[in-house]
Amino acid sequence: MKIKLLFLALALPMFMMAQDIILPQPDMNMKTTLGEALQKRKSTRSYTQQELDLQQISNVLWAAWGYNREDKRTAPSSQNKQELDLYVVLKSGIYGYDAKNNRLVLINKGDYMSATGKQDFAATAPLNIVIVADKNRMAPADDNRQLATASINAGYISENIYLYCAATGLGTVARGSFDAKVLTTLLSLKDNQMIILCQTVGYPKF
Ligand SMILES: Cc1cc2nc3c(=O)[nH]c(=O)nc-3n(C[C@H](O)[C@H](O)[C@H](O)COP(=O)(O)O)c2cc1C
């Protein structure tokens, strides 16, 4: 009995972690110059169903909101509050992006792509990123002020995604049109969290 319990205690966390996705180290070696990426930056609303590999997912998330120094990120944030979190919606499930450990932490298993947006392509593109603000990590202010600050900070993340995609031949579009209520439930968000923006990423059709 004791051995059984010991086995369970050791195996359970491993089993649970097996649902998470460990990402490869981000690789930012690309030939495109910043000038070229700026020339190519645009919104894409038509995607093939081709999946992104884990290297591309790691790269785009790092470009968006990874650590480029010990404790700071690729995007700025007001007063360095770093109050934003990225939720990653793949066909296999909804994950939280753990930037420190370069890992996707499973939140909800299943295909919830269509719940991330009202436009059809959200359901068929390979990746949707949801940018979520945590009010508890923000400087105290009224709701409007907090929303404005979080939105500005999310804009930097969004543009990082745009530029990464432009530089690597991927398509992307920022999306403010989503059902916040449905998505809040699916992401298992708490009262102090609010969804700021969604962003689709994939291979452009045209
Ligand atoms: C905050 C924000 C929200 C947006 N929401 C949507 C959206 O819900 N659906 C959509 O198709 N495009 C959305 N867009 C993309 C804009 O429509 C797009 O950037 C604009 O038309 C200019 O086109 P361009 O990005 O190709 O230059 C959004 C852009 C931003 C910055």
In order of start, what are the domains of the chain with their CATH numbers?
22-202 (3.40.109.10)
Chain-centroid distance of CA 102 in Å reads: 12
**Quick one: pLDDT at residue 4?**
52
Ordered strands of the 21-22 beta sheet: 21-22, 103-109, 93-98, 84-90, 127-134, 193-202, 171-175
* pLDDT at residue 147 tops 70: yes
Phi and psi (nearest 5°) for 57?
Answer: -65, -45
The burial class, CB within 10 Å (0-12 / 13-18 / 19+), for 41 is: middle
- Pocket lining: 43 vs ligand 1, CB cutoff 6 Å: yes
Average pLDDT over residues 117-139: 96
Q: pLDDT tens for residues 152-180?
A: 999 999 999 999 999 999 999 999 999 99
* Residue 47 contacts residue 205 (beta carbons within 8 Å): yes
Which residues, 6 or more positions from 36, have their beta carbon under 8 angstroms from its beta carbon? 166, 167
User: Which amino acid residue places its CA nearest to atom 23 of ligand 1?
Assistant: 43
- Pocket lining: 115 vs ligand 1, CB cutoff 6 Å: no
Separation of 45 CA from ligand 1 center, angstroms?
A: 10
**Quick one: pLDDT at residue 206?**
74
**Quick one: pLDDT at residue 130?**
98
Q: Which residue has the higher pLDDT, 8 or 137?
A: 137
- Pocket lining: 166 vs ligand 1, CB cutoff 6 Å: no
* pLDDT at residue 102 tops 90: yes
Q: How far apart are CA 97 and CA 59, in angstroms?
A: 12
* Residue 157 contacts residue 85 (beta carbons within 8 Å): no
- Pocket lining: 135 vs ligand 1, CB cutoff 6 Å: no
pLDDT-derived band at 73 (thresholds 50, 70, 90) equals very high
**Quick one: pLDDT at residue 63?**
98
pLDDT-derived band at 15 (thresholds 50, 70, 90) equals very low
* pLDDT at residue 8 tops 50: no
- Pocket lining: 116 vs ligand 1, CB cutoff 6 Å: no
* Residue 201 contacts residue 60 (beta carbons within 8 Å): yes
pLDDT-derived band at 200 (thresholds 50, 70, 90) equals very high
pLDDT-derived band at 18 (thresholds 50, 70, 90) equals low
- Pocket lining: 118 vs ligand 1, CB cutoff 6 Å: no
Q: How far apart are CA 121 and CA 118, in angstroms?
A: 9
Q: How far apart are CA 157 and CA 59, in angstroms?
A: 13
**Quick one: pLDDT at residue 17?**
54
pLDDT above 90: percentage of residues in the chain: 88
Ligand 1 pocket check: which of 173, 197, 201 to mutate, most ligand atoms within 8 Å of Cβ? 173
pLDDT-derived band at 14 (thresholds 50, 70, 90) equals very low
Q: pLDDT tens for residues 22-71?
A: 999 999 898 999 999 999 999 999 999 999 999 999 999 999 999 999 99
Beta bridge partner(s), residue 108: 94
Nearest 5°: the CA angle 166, 134, 77 is 50
Ligand 1 atom nearest residue 118's Cα = 8
